[in-house]
Amino acid sequence: MVWGMFALCLHPWPKLDRLKAPVSCGVGGSIACDHMEDQRIDLKATALDAYRAMAAFDGSIELDSALRELVKIRASQLNGCAYCIALHTREARKAGESEQRLYALVAWRESPLFTERERAALELTDTITRIGENGVPDAVYDRVASEFSAAELANLIFAITAINAWNRIAVTSGLVFADTP
């Protein structure tokens, strides 16, 4: 069963001084994570059932993978989650995303590099990520709904919700992404 990007990346290993070798990530690649000295809590080891439920939720979301990576990176930028930014920009590059678009993502509103559909998804990402400021205004929802089918929109909302939850998990537990060449 695939549990999503973080299924094997949230430090399932026993307590070690440092993780020296890359480990397999749930989406076919390997990453190395600066390990336990920097991490506050190993959530998978401490609350395995909740961790599995979260990973299963994330893995159940059906959304275009390129768009989903943009959403993950954008929410992670807004939430200040360095771990998730590093992980998802790496995954986006591996999937063929251009460096130029990745650099422009932080200023997507001013960039001509994104389609109307991507802009709608990014606007909803910004709005949901900052939901405490103004909720989700009808005008934003209507713009997004005009670009996505009901099923796509539902999965987009779940994707944004999932990455926001993962950002909070990663930041709170002190995950550090150590990219290796």
Question: Which tens digits make up the pLDDT trace of 159-178?
Answer: 999 999 999 999 999 887 77
In-domain check, residue 123: yes
Query: Residue 126 above 70 pLDDT?
Result: yes
In-domain check, residue 34: no
In-domain check, residue 77: yes
Q: How confident is the model at residue 8 (pLDDT cuts 50, 70, 90)?
A: very low
Token pair belonging to 142: 């209507």
In-domain check, residue 179: no
pTM (predicted TM-score): 0.79
In-domain check, residue 152: yes
In-domain check, residue 112: yes
At 43-84, the pLDDT tens digits run: 888 999 999 999 999 999 999 999 999 999 999 999 999 999
- Higher-confidence residue of 129 and 31: namely 129
Query: Residue 137 above 50 pLDDT?
Result: yes
What pLDDT, on a 0 to 100 scale, did the predictor assign at position 159?
A: 98
Parent domain of 128: 65-172
Here the CATH number for the domain that contains residue 102 is 1.20.1290.10
Query: Residue 151 above 70 pLDDT?
Result: yes
Neighbours of 175 (CB within 10 A): 26
In-domain check, residue 31: no
> Nearest-CA neighbor of 13 among 3, 21, 5?
21
At 33-54, the pLDDT tens digits run: 444 456 888 888 899 999 999 9
Query: Residue 25 above 60 pLDDT?
Result: no
SS (HEC) of the chain: CCCCCCCCCCCCCCCCCCCCCCEEECCCEEEEEECCCCCCCCHHHHCHHHHHHHHHHHHCCCCCHHHHHHHHHHHHHHHCCHHHHHHHHHHHHHCCCCHHHHHHHHHHHHCCCCCHHHHHHHHHHHHHHCHHHHCCCHHHHHHHHCCCCHHHHHHHHHHHHHHHHHHHHHHHHCCEEECCC
Percentage with pLDDT > 90 across the chain? 70
Report the domain count for the chain: 1
What pLDDT, on a 0 to 100 scale, did the predictor assign at position 44?
A: 85
In-domain check, residue 116: yes
